[in-house]
Amino acid sequence: MSTAGCSQTTRRCPIFSVIARSYLLHIGDLNWKRINPDIFGSMIQAVADDEERGALGMHYTSVPNILKVLNPLFLDDLRAQLEAAGDNKAKLLNLRKRIAAIRVFDPACGSGNFLVIAYIKLREIEAEIIRRRKDDDKKTWIKLTNFYGIEIKSFPAEIARLALLIAEFQCNVRFIGQIEARLDVLPLHDTGRIVNGNALRLDWLEVCPPPKSGEAIEHDLAGPIGKLALENEAEAETFICGNPPYLGSQWRNSSQQADMDLVFSKETKSYKDLDYVAAWYLKAAHYCERGDSEFALVATKTICQGIQVAMLWPLIFARALSISFCTSTVHMGNLAKAKTLALLASLLGVRRTSKKQAHLYEKRPIKSRNEHRAVFN
């Protein structure tokens, strides 16, 4: 079988001990409909030792915290467009085309939680469009190959590819029925485009190339005429999201410092005190210069405070980019049982400078107009 990564080559069947066999039989009796693909991130963090977890800055992100990034980045806008469309079939069709063209890219994807949740939420919106239009063909137009990621460790990268396949199957069961879902699941097909490597040393434009202008998107009609490229396709949009490693300057090893040198040395001499996550922000800013892209990344709150503000943000704003949304400090608790510290983080979205209103999300109300301006200027 082939999954563009999970099993590209023939592999020997593992030999099970009596205990391992009993575990395998036991999990076969579980109700797998109730198992969420995003649980893999918690599992990986739980089995990683403290030294590895600390060195790589590993941290599992819970679904509620993932949605704090994805909702303001693009899901809220899609839901607003859905609400505005009502039952207008033409507007709903245009929205469905837009969703089919969306690409999600996580350059620190781990086991793929951000990609999995993004896929599930897009499928939910698409299912509502299909319901309102009363379409006979309920098969999805959303392709797993529209989901991109970079992960430095090979095992989580494989898990990310698998998790997307599981998410697709579970969504098919929900929205087109179990019989159709089973017919579509085998043979295993291409899954998310997850690259195993160091995100700070890879060219993101090669990992997730900008779509060619006017590139048609094919929709599988599952009929004798095969595939049809619909006219007037939506322009592809790329949304970069994720929860990169944090690691303050005092915690970086020599290899990670070399990563910082590679990303920042040609831009500025003042970067030694920046947190490691700042390199992902600058790489994302480079990417967004080249096309219709926006990004939102979880970050240490310190890149928005003190000396790090003057080091990082002028480099981003110089590229005709501006903040689209930000949050007050977020408590990044998670479901992993590993002994990890609960982190206080900031969530920030960045897009091309425009007249669109920026949003500040925080628990207390903004006291004055001047205070609101201070956040974004």
140's tokens: 């999805």
Report the C-alpha gap between 271 and 253 in whole angstroms: 16
Which three-class secondary structure string do you get for 267-279?
A: CCCCCCCCCCCHH
pLDDT score, position 190:
83
Residue whose entry in the numeric block shows the structure tokens 């190339």:
209
DSSP lists the bridge partners of residue 220 as 227
Closest alpha carbon to 168 in 142, 149, 205? 142
Report the C-alpha gap between 61 and 326 in whole angstroms: 18
Closest alpha carbon to 272 in 262, 257, 285? 257
Which structural domains are found in the chain, ordered by start?
1-9+36-377 (3.40.50.150)
Question: How many C-beta neighbours within 10 Å does residue 15 have?
Answer: 7
DSSP-assigned letters across all residues of 292-304: SEEEEEEEEGGGG
DSSP lists the bridge partners of residue 219 as 228
Instruction: Cis check for the bond before 187: say yes or no (omega within 30 of 0).
Output: yes
Report the C-alpha gap between 228 and 219 in whole angstroms: 6
Closest alpha carbon to 207 in 235, 242, 234, 165? 242
- Non-local CB neighbours of 311 within 8 Å, separated by 6+ positions: 268, 270, 271, 273, 274, 278
Report the C-alpha gap between 329 and 370 in whole angstroms: 20
The pTM assigned to this predicted structure is: 0.81
Report the C-alpha gap between 37 and 113 in whole angstroms: 8
Report the C-alpha gap between 224 and 330 in whole angstroms: 52
Rounded to 5 degrees, what are φ and ψ at 133? -80, -10
Residue whose entry in the numeric block shows the structure tokens 């001047």:
370
pLDDT score, position 368:
44
pLDDT score, position 45:
53
Closest alpha carbon to 286 in 222, 344, 240? 240
Residue whose entry in the numeric block shows the structure tokens 């202008």:
213
Q: In tens digits, what is the pLDDT along the chain, a chain of 377 residues?
A: 344 445 455 667 778 888 888 888 888 787 766 666 666 555 555 554 445 444 444 556 788 889 999 999 999 999 999 999 999 999 999 999 999 999 999 999 988 999 999 999 999 999 999 999 999 888 999 999 999 999 999 888 998 998 899 899 889 989 988 878 777 777 777 889 999 999 999 999 999 998 876 555 555 544 444 444 444 567 899 999 999 987 666 767 889 999 999 999 999 999 988 999 999 999 999 999 887 899 999 988 888 888 999 999 999 999 999 999 988 776 665 444 444 444 566 788 999 887 788 888 876 544 444 433 333 33
